Amino acid sequence: MLKPFLIAATLALAPAATLAEADGPDAWRVVNVPANDTLNIRMGPGTGYAVLGKLAPNARHLARGACVPFVPRDVRLDAADREALPPRWCFVDGGAGRQGWVSARYLGEDVAAGGAGGDTAGVGAPYDIALPLVRNLFHKAAFLDINDPAAMRAYFSSYTVPGLANRGAHPILDAQDADLANVAVRFADPPVIQGMATVIVTYENFGQPRRAEVHLRPDPDQGGAIRIFRIVHDSGAVVE
C-alpha cells in the first residue's frame, strides 16, 4: 500500500517543474468535453481555485507541465491505492496566455505542435496520436499493471485488453524482466493501410536488441480512439 505520508508529500511538491513526468506524453489534447461546452483552466489543482480561462472542446497541442498527485515511477499502486488518491490535475499551456490547471479526466495524449520531431509528417488525425501512444507505452511498460483493464484501455482496444492478463511473459515486452534502453519508435512505410497504422519499435532489454511491430486502429468501443490491437514481437510472439 502507498503510505499516506508519501501521497501528502508528493502533493505538496508536485507543482515544481522538476517533477514534470519525463515519460509523459509530448502534449495534451482536450477530451470528454461536449462540443457545446468548454474546459475550465484554474489557478490551482482543484475546483476550489478561480477560473483563469477556458479551452475549446477540441483544443490540441497543449504543452504539458507537472501533474498532481505525482507518483514516482518505481512506486506500484494496487486498486486500493489508486482509489485513495485524490483527483488528478495537470498544468497545461495552451498558448495566448492560457496557462493553468485542468482536470486530468479531460486530457488525452497528443503530439506537440508541428508533430513529434517530424516523425508524424504526412500522417493526419486520428493516426497522428499513434507514435506518442506507443512511445509512452514502452517507456512505462515495466511499471504498468497489466491486470488493470482500465489502465490498459488507455493503450489497447477493448477487444485486446482481456488477453493481456495472466500471461507467462510480459505481453508488451515479451520478457519476464525489463531493463529497457534506447527505445525508438517510427511509422512503417506506408504508415497507414486500410485503416490500420503500423508503428515499429526498437529497443534494448538488458543490452539485447529487440524489435516489435505494433498495429493500431480506431476502437469503436472507445469512441473511435486510436488503440493498439496487436503487437508482433521479433521472437514470433503475438499479442492480440
For 166-201, the pLDDT digits (tens) are: 777 788 988 888 888 888 888 888 888 888 999 999
Residue 116 falls inside a structural domain? no
Tell me the residue ranges of DSSP E strands in 94-195. 99-103, 107-110, 180-193
Prediction pTM value: 0.55
Report the distance separating Cα 10 and Cα 21, nearest Å.
13
- Position with higher pLDDT, 99 vs 228: 228
pLDDT value at residue 199: 93
pLDDT value at residue 127: 82
Mind giving me the DSSP string for 182-234?
EEEEEEEEEEEETTEEEEEEEEEETTEEEEEEEEEEEEGGGTTEEEEEEEEET
Residue 222 falls inside a structural domain? yes
Q: What is the domain extent for residue 205?
A: 124-240
pLDDT value at residue 9: 36
pLDDT value at residue 20: 35
Cα end-to-end span (Å), the chain? 32
Q: What is the CATH number of the domain that holds 183?
A: 3.10.450
Q: What is the CATH number of the domain that holds 42?
A: 2.30.30.40
**Rounded-to-5 percentages of helix, strand, coil across the chain:** 20, 35, 45
Residue 117 falls inside a structural domain? no
Model confidence band, residue 209 (pLDDT cutoffs 50, 70, 90): very high
